[in-house]
């Protein structure tokens, strides 16, 4: 990172705990290096399920929502980042064939939800925005909605004519989709464990589709994996300390796959791929309100949201 102005990173996630399970070490790294980092959590997670068998069951959705809010605050402190809410109810576990609640985030009006995020973008003024990808195997409807809202808000935030009541326009410069895991990483860890005499069924069952994202950016952040793990454990209702999140020792992960991985979807500054820094190409000599050197010839090679 270069320049005199503090760089700013916004990470948009669907549910509490998503920020700790997808890109947490990157967030901790950039915060420790002096960037301002804001996590936007779209829903309260109140219709989720308690996934840690040792955790007491909260009293109904309101109790679970309060529990997950406390956990999110603790995880944010561990990571050293700020956090705020987009303000939508969780859509629930999204069981196949079951209808989703009408008031859940996945069924929200796209324009209204985009307007809420535009207001946050214009207030925080991030140079880089990250969110969930829009593909994958059986993605959760709230993750898909977070993807759609973030992609729309990335463009609308810099448009003076869009959402005029949401504050002065601000154009982020780069948009990334984060990948908590993917086949290349899973296979590498699986083989590493097997070489060490352990087994872990990372490979998908026969016939299950495999989505391998197009990775453009690998951020070295292995030294922050322990902090990521502590943030995950702060979500005690969701994360079993003896469960699959911790099946691969942190030291093995640091040795075999020491990065967190992203797809660069949009860039309004020149880029050279592959990258190793979410802020690559962004030089701050003062607050940026528009890119000084757009690179449409580069953007044409990227995934469009």
**pLDDT-derived band at 194, boundaries 50, 70, 90:** confident
- Is 225 inside any structural domain? yes
- Let me know: does 214 contact 59? Beta carbons within 8 Å: no
**pLDDT-derived band at 92, boundaries 50, 70, 90:** confident
- Let me know: does 173 contact 288? Beta carbons within 8 Å: yes
- Is 305 inside any structural domain? no
CATH number of the domain enclosing 150: 3.40.50.10320
State which residues form the domain around 143: 2-181+214-299
Is the confidence at residue 295, as pLDDT, over 50? no
Query: So what's the pLDDT on residue 176?
Result: 98
Name beta bridge partners: 305: none
Percent with pLDDT over 90 in the chain: 66
Query: What does the pLDDT look like over 174-184, one tens digit per residue?
Result: 999 999 889 89
Average pLDDT over residues 143-156: 97
Residue 259: partners with Cβ closer than 8 Å, 6 or more residues away: 218, 219, 220, 221, 222, 276
**How many domains, the chain?**
1
CA atoms in the 13 A half-sphere facing the CB of 263:
21
- Is 191 inside any structural domain? no
Query: So what's the pLDDT on residue 50?
Result: 84
Query: So what's the pLDDT on residue 262?
Result: 98
- Between residues 197 and 160, the one the model is more confident about: 160
Query: So what's the pLDDT on residue 303?
Result: 39
Tokens 């998908």, located at residue: 204
**Of the given ranges (16-20, 95-99, 111-115), which has the lowest mean pLDDT?**
95-99
- Is 209 inside any structural domain? no
- Is 286 inside any structural domain? yes
Query: So what's the pLDDT on residue 206?
Result: 57
- Is 193 inside any structural domain? no
Query: So what's the pLDDT on residue 255?
Result: 97
Among 191, 189, 179, which residue's Cα sits nearest to residue 251?
A: 189
Is the confidence at residue 69, as pLDDT, over 90? yes
Is the confidence at residue 301, as pLDDT, over 50? no
> How many whole angstroms separate alpha carbon 162 and alpha carbon 119?
11
Among 68, 7, 59, 67, which residue's Cα sits nearest to residue 41?
A: 68
> How many whole angstroms separate alpha carbon 23 and alpha carbon 87?
22
- Is 205 inside any structural domain? no
- Is 223 inside any structural domain? yes
């Amino acid at each position: 990172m270069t320049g005199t102005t503090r760089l700013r990173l916004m990470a948009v996630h669907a549910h509490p705990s998503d920020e700790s399970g997808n890109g947490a070490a990157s967030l901790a790294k950039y915060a420790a290096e002096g960037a301002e980092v804001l996590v936007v959590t779209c829903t309260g997670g109140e219709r989720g399920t308690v996934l840690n068998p040792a955790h007491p069951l909260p009293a109904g959705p309101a109790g679970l929502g309060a529990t997950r809010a406390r956990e999110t605050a603790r995880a944010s402190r561990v990571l050293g980042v700020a956090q705020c809410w987009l303000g939508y109810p969780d859509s629930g576990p999204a069981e196949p064939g079951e209808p989703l609640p009408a008031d859940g985030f996945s069924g929200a009006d796209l324009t209204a939800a985009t307007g809420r995020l535009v207001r946050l973008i214009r207030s925080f003024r991030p140079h880089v925005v990250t969110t969930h990808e829009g593909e994958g195997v059986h993605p959760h409807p709230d993750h898909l909605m977070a993807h759609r809202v973030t992609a729309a808000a990335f463009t609308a935030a810099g448009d003076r004519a869009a959402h005029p009541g949401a504050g002065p326009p601000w154009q982020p410069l780069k948009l990334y989709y984060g990948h908590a895991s993917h086949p290349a990483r899973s296979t590498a860890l699986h083989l590493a464990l097997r070489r060490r005499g352990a087994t872990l069924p990372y490979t998908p069952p026969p016939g299950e589709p495999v989505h391998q994202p197009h990775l453009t950016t690998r951020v070295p952040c292995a030294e922050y994996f322990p902090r990521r793990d502590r943030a995950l454990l702060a979500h005690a209702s969701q994360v079993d300390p003896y469960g699959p999140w911790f099946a691969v020792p942190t030291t093995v992960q640091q040795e075999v796959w020491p990065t967190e991985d992203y797809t660069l979807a949009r860039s309004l500054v020149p880029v050279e791929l592959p990258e190793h820094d979410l802020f690559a190409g962004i030089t701050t000599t003062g607050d940026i309100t528009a890119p000084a050197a757009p690179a449409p010839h580069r953007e044409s090679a990227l995934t469009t949201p």
